[in-house]
Structure 1
Amino acid sequence: MSLRPITLVAVFAAGVGFAVWGLGATGPRVLITSEPKPDAKTQRAPEKRPTLRMDDERIALAGIGQAKVGPGIVAKRLAVPGTIVPDSDRVAHVSVKLSGTVAELRKNIGDDVEKGEMLAALESREVADAKSEYLSARLSNELQQDLTARDKSLSEGRAVPEQQYIKSRNAAAQTAMRLDIARQKLLALGIEDNEIAGIPQAPEGTLRLQNVRAPISGRLVDRKVELGTAVGRDNLETELFVIVDLSRVWIEMTVSSADLPSVREGQSASVSVRGRSAVGNGKIIFVSPLLDKDTRAARVIAALDNPQRSWRPGSFVTASIAIEERQVPVVAPVSALQTIEGRKVVFARVSEGFEKREVAVGERDGATVEIVSGLAAGETIAASNTFSLKAELSKPADED
């Protein structure tokens, strides 16, 4: 005689829960566990929320990322084409102001440079003449100042006429003026104050050399001369190097005249490139008051921090301008949402594992979405690899 399977059903008080066990050939097995919770907002019948039992180890093995939901900002956005360009305030064209020859090169294309670092040295007769004039004016001024100080002392003691002291004082003023003129000439040639101060102690052979230094910190992206190249006036090359600081770049966008009224300086703008997951966030710093006569569109610029130098000038991007922003109580990652039986759900973290939670969603903003109901701020949810949870929940009840 064959024995028929025995099924044991236990039912607890309403509002507490129920469980169903099956007793078959393989012994007792949990088929489903659910804990109805009241929906205070709608006052409907309690919703049954199945729970997927998982401990921390299983969650880690499944690669399920978790995130805590809370308040956030969602925005209506305007998508426009754009191009990454260097920040024009962070581009330096290193040029010469005299005629000479490249005597030494310290840096090459691709090198990182610091402000004030030496890039090259030029050999120039013009520099040698200006430095010699400065040394002569400096020596004359020092001698005349000593004579004037002596005549002043003698004049006070009635040893020399006062008229002699007055002439000496006028001569000292003239030598001081000539020294200042010689110094200004050196500054005009691009020689810095600290270098001018060191000219009297410098070796004689260096008087014809001028050091070319970096005006900003950045990366050397172009070098236009070689050793021995004649540079300067008379149709010769005047630009030696180009340095660009890419720690901040610009997003140059084109906005149609129809969309322009909703775009303002200070609005945020995100940028992305097709085939790349990274998203950059910048702020609009300029909206052109002029329209292009051909396209009837305006030039709009946003500044974008670029500490990793990952946004390269010349790249075509899609820029998304936040034209209207609002604060909402709860936002969640879009990757946390799944659709089950036509309804949007997330998986909320509970002590036993994850609980399926139906939610109502609002406006989506990039990688986040507004949660209108179904989640409270501070709750933790499965944020990535949630499809595995959906697949587990969708298994037939009698499947091992």
Structure 2
Amino acid sequence: MSRLLIPVLLALAGGVLIATWWPGAPDAVRTMLAGARGAAAPAKPEPHAAAGPEPERSGLVKLTDDQVGKAGIRTDGVGGGNLSRHLHVPGTIVPNANLTARIAVKTTGTVVELRKGLGDKVAKGEVVALLDSREIADAKGEYLAARVSAALQKTLYERDKELWDRRISSEQQYLRSQASYQDLKVKEDAARRKLTFLGLSQAEIQALPNQPEAQFERQEIRSPLGGKVVERRVDLGAAVGRDNLETELYSVVDLSTVWVDLAVSPGDLPLVREGQTVAVRAEATGGAARGRIVIIVPVLDQATRAARVVAELANPDETWRPGSFVGAEIVISDKPVRVLIPASAIQTLEGRPNVFVRVAAGFEARPLKLGRSDDAAVEVTEGLEPGEAVAVANTFTLKSELGKAAAED
């Protein structure tokens, strides 16, 4: 009995060794030997492999709030806006031609007083100079004489009319008196118009009968516009008037609004229209303002072959000084869009535009489908919704971090 048992035990031990150390054995042999081994000893359950960590989401850059702040990454909420296209042109600040006046004299005379200097403020109707003129004195005398004669003849005419109505005097006397009065009245009106042409106001003409004769030669020169004196053309005691003499005393400009002369090339001119918004910026001072196009001159400049386009700019503080060079952006289109993001927020990953969306663990790269764009912003047609927060500054840092993580994997 023992002789028969010894071969069986040797075969069983050989089978166990083959099943354990020769995994490439045929499945049938392994099954048979494993069955024989199972008959000899119960199989132990194989231990389960320990569960590993879940894989991280692709495109996720893990950053804490402190790390985001140190990296200078700035976020902004996604929303709608206007998509604008701009035309960049050079420009020059010039006075508003509708608010510029030249104070001139209309008669010959001598300047006896100048009340304003360069840069002084002037109110509309304010006296800025005094002039002595023989021509003015003669015109005032003619007017007063015609006025007195017309008044006297008016009295005679009214008396003769009353006598004629009562049939006391003849009709011929009445008609002669009427004709004389009308003639003198015409002369009085002509003398008044002459004074008005020489620069006297209606109030000054009405006050002439009470004016001393010694002041008949004196004429007050008034400003027709409120503003600032930008030029003085004469000195005290200068002879002014006609016959090749200087007629202008001052130049006055109201700087509450100014014009911006823009030079637009003929190729861009079809894009420009009156009423378009213009953003103006002075490189020297950093000042910026917005205005509107008011004039498009139809004739090109003979020297530069550029079109002159004029924009009007509010200047309540008089910070925009005529003669300054500026850069201007003409808004040639302005369309509303539902989702608009800055162009600085977009990074190209694997050949596709992406943005980094703020999530709880940091930032997640998200591919986008883009639409129209302008100088600074891009329309998003797919991939973002209003209200989501995206990185808009130092986004290249996030792209670098994402590349490092991909390289380590």
TM normalised by structure 2 equals: 0.68
Q: Displacement, 1:364?
A: 6.9
Kept in 2, the 8 Å contact 1:291–1:297? The answer is: yes
Q: Displacement, 1:358?
A: 8.6
Kept in 1, the 8 Å contact 2:61–2:364? The answer is: no
What is the aligned counterpart of 1:152 among 161, 180, 185?
161
Kept in 2, the 8 Å contact 1:108–1:220? The answer is: yes
Provide the residue aligned with 1:322 in structure 2. Answer: 331
Provide the residue aligned with 2:298 in structure 1. Answer: 289
What is the aligned counterpart of 2:257 among 245, 248, 254?
248
SS at match of 1:191: coil
SS at match of 1:146: helix
Q: Displacement, 1:185?
A: 0.7
| In structure 2, C-alpha distance between the alignment counterparts of 1:131 and 1:114, rounded to whole Å | 27
Kept in 1, the 8 Å contact 2:108–2:240? The answer is: yes
- Change in 2 beyond 3 A, CA 1:359/1:123: farther
What is the aligned counterpart of 1:99 among 108, 112, 124?
108
User: What amino acid does structure 2 have at the position aligned with 1:261?
Assistant: P
Kept in 2, the 8 Å contact 1:101–1:230? The answer is: yes
Q: Deviations over 1:168-203 (max 9, x none)?
A: 111110011000010011111111112111111223
Query: Is 1:176 aligned with 2:193?
Result: no
**Which of 68-77 and 313-322 deviates more?**
68-77
Provide the residue aligned with 2:99 in structure 1. Answer: 90
Kept in 1, the 8 Å contact 2:373–2:379? The answer is: no
**Aligned residues with identical type, % of pairs:** 43
Q: Return the structure number with greater helix share.
A: 2
| In structure 2, C-alpha distance between the alignment counterparts of 1:381 and 1:166, rounded to whole Å | 97
Provide the residue aligned with 1:22 in structure 2. Answer: none
| In structure 2, C-alpha distance between the alignment counterparts of 1:275 and 1:356, rounded to whole Å | 42
Cα RMSD, aligned residues only: 3.9
Q: Displacement, 1:289?
A: 2.4
TM normalised by structure 1 equals: 0.69
Q: Deviations over 1:100-143 (max 9, x none)?
A: 11112221111111111111110101000000111111111111
SS at match of 2:234: coil
| In structure 2, C-alpha distance between the alignment counterparts of 1:204 and 1:347, rounded to whole Å | 89
What is the aligned counterpart of 1:162 among 164, 171, 174?
171
Q: Deviations over 1:18-51 (max 9, x none)?
A: xxxxxxxxxxxxxxxxxxxxxxxxxxx9x99989
Kept in 2, the 8 Å contact 1:346–1:359? The answer is: no
Provide the residue aligned with 1:262 in structure 2. Answer: 271
Unaligned runs of 5+ in 1: 1-44, 54-65, 349-354, 395-400
What is the aligned counterpart of 1:214 among 219, 223, 228?
223
Q: Return the structure number with greater strand share.
A: 1
Aligned length: 327
SS at match of 1:288: strand
- Change in 2 beyond 3 A, CA 1:321/1:147: same
- Change in 2 beyond 3 A, CA 1:339/1:331: closer
Kept in 1, the 8 Å contact 2:341–2:378? The answer is: yes
- Change in 2 beyond 3 A, CA 1:364/1:91: farther
SS at match of 1:183: helix
Provide the residue aligned with 2:85 in structure 1. Answer: 76
Query: Is 1:280 aligned with 2:289?
Result: yes
| In structure 2, C-alpha distance between the alignment counterparts of 1:314 and 1:271, rounded to whole Å | 14
Kept in 2, the 8 Å contact 1:98–1:126? The answer is: yes
| In structure 2, C-alpha distance between the alignment counterparts of 1:314 and 1:261, rounded to whole Å | 27
Larger Rg: 2
User: What amino acid does structure 1 have at the position aligned with 2:123?
Assistant: E
